[in-house]
Amino acid sequence: MTKKDKEHKSGYTTAPTEPTKLVEIKDRPKHKSDDPPLRKFDNLEAFESYLKDETWDNEFDYIHAQLVYYPPFVLHECHDDPENNFKPSMTNLNKKFLRNLHHHVDRHLLVEIKRYSGVEYDFGKSVEEHTADGKVKWHFKDESNHGIPEESLHDRKWKLELTVESHSNDSLIVVDLQTVPL
């Protein structure tokens, strides 16, 4: 019996549900504070699931999430064991690492954020910042209507701020995503 037959026979599937595109916006829910609570994640799948769940819960404009993870190209290069197989060239001091990271952010991370949040964000060009302590940061911002017609917004305007940070001493990436109601 194949795996597909077993899944069909048992009545469950292992495939995740696909996120839906945000089409209709409801009134803003009441919150105890103006600032959303910080949620921390250590893997990309949990972060994507959180974005999808917040859209389902009508909380897409009240998110503050921080993701700290090894990007897939680092995991591939060190055979899924970054603590033991860490190479000194896998930091932001290496041009190839920065190029791969920028490619990962532009072609994968931003696309996944749009997909799982259900909102058509326009991140535009990033602002790159190099700090004195060896960090490289990319700042993205979207203050538009996010692809939603003005009459469908129900006075729910928000801006998104996204910061991707890389350190010079390891290959961990810190992603800070915050949506702020206006």
Q: Which of 113, 112, 164, 160 is nearest to 138 (CA)?
A: 164
Classify residue 29: in a domain, yes or no: no
- The per-residue pLDDT for range 14-60, each reduced to its tens digit, is 445 666 565 555 555 565 556 788 999 999 999 999 988 887 776 77
Kindly report the CATH number assigned to the domain that includes residue 61: 3.40.1000.40
Number of domains in the chain: 1
Single pTM value for the model: 0.78
The Cα-based distances of 133 to 15, 35, 87, 95 in angstroms read: 43, 29, 20, 17
Classify residue 2: in a domain, yes or no: no
Among 13-22, 78-87, 103-112, the minimum mean pLDDT is found in 13-22
Q: What is the mean pLDDT of the chain?
A: 81
pLDDT for 86: 79
Residue 141 has pLDDT above 60, yes or no: yes
pLDDT for 90: 87
Which whole number is the average pLDDT over 122-145? Answer: 90
Classify residue 8: in a domain, yes or no: no
Classify residue 131: in a domain, yes or no: yes
Handedness of CA 106, 87, 92, 177 (dihedral sign): positive
Cβ-contact 132, 156 below 8 angstroms = no
Classify residue 18: in a domain, yes or no: no
Query: What are the residues facing 141 on neighbouring strands?
Result: 161
Classify residue 154: in a domain, yes or no: yes
Among 26-30, 36-40, 67-71, 88-92, the minimum mean pLDDT is found in 26-30
Classify residue 136: in a domain, yes or no: yes
Q: What is the dihedral of CA 55, 117, 127, 182, to 10 degrees?
A: -20
φ, ψ of residue 81 in degrees (nearest 5): -140, 75
Q: Which domain holds residue 137?
A: 36-181
Which whole number is the average pLDDT over 69-78? Answer: 91
Classify residue 20: in a domain, yes or no: no
